[in-house]
Chains A and B, each alone.
Chain A
């Protein structure tokens, strides 16, 4: 069965600190996709990244970086030098290639608070 676990319910950091949001997933498929979304207080989910299961290269985009490790079924997200605008709920999600019609299985989210 598919499952996404975000063990950290809430994290609070001070501006400029680095912070890592953990994501562990379960799937029986060999082809799957992993995602991260950001939900600011306005409520809309903003797409951040998609990774397929065959690409384990870590990715960096500005202050954001993602560490995908199939050996531990993890897809962790790190924000470097956090800013107040990073305060949001972050969701990790999984989609299997077959039979899913594209819908995503979401974790319960991690609420990140960045204080000035």
Chain B
């Protein structure tokens, strides 16, 4: 069966420090991968998605970046965190293309920037 894991689960970082959140999927090949952010009191906002290795699409301009070095690995990074980067980050995967498939989410990573 397919599983998705992301880490770390909780992170407290000072403003200006770097960030690396990692997500891996098991049990499937060539998935679509997504990073969403959930800010307090708001819905989920799509940050990045990837349809294959090295292919990253950004939905929202910001100081975050994403990379997909391997088929089932998706990394969210920042060189210098801002206070506004605080939030709950969720990685997700799907197997179907063009809006037909449901997304399966990881456990989430809660980031607090101080």
Give the residues in chain A near B51, CB-CB below 8 Å: 101
Give the residues in chain B near A35, CB-CB below 8 Å: 102-103
The answer to whether A32 and B43 touch across the interface, beta carbons within 8 angstroms, is: no
For A, the interface residue count at a CB cutoff of 8 angstroms equals 29
Give the residues in chain A near B102, CB-CB below 8 Å: 35, 47, 50
The answer to whether B32 and A101 touch across the interface, beta carbons within 8 angstroms, is: yes
For B, the interface residue count at a CB cutoff of 8 angstroms equals 29
Q: Give the complex CA separation of A97 and B96 in angstroms.
A: 11
A107-B32 contact, Cβ under 8 Å, with A43-B108, A43-B110, A102-B98? no
Q: Is B100 an interface residue (CB 8 A)?
A: yes
Q: Is B34 an interface residue (CB 8 A)?
A: yes
Give the residues in chain A near B61, CB-CB below 8 Å: none
The answer to whether B43 and A108 touch across the interface, beta carbons within 8 angstroms, is: yes
The answer to whether B101 and A102 touch across the interface, beta carbons within 8 angstroms, is: yes
User: In this complex, what residue of A is CB-closest to B104?
Assistant: A47
Q: Is B44 an interface residue (CB 8 A)?
A: yes
Q: Is A42 an interface residue (CB 8 A)?
A: yes
The answer to whether A47 and B99 touch across the interface, beta carbons within 8 angstroms, is: no
Q: Is B46 an interface residue (CB 8 A)?
A: yes
A72 to chain B, nearest CB (A): 21
The answer to whether B108 and A95 touch across the interface, beta carbons within 8 angstroms, is: no
Give the residues in chain A near B34, CB-CB below 8 Å: 102-103
Q: Is A100 an interface residue (CB 8 A)?
A: yes
The answer to whether A98 and B110 touch across the interface, beta carbons within 8 angstroms, is: no
Q: Is A44 an interface residue (CB 8 A)?
A: yes
Among B44, B101, B107, which residue has the most Cβ atoms of chain A within 10 A?
B44
Instruction: Give 6 new A-B contacts, CB below 8 A, not counting A4-B43, A101-B32.
Output: A42-B107, A102-B49, A102-B99, A102-B100, A104-B44, A107-B43
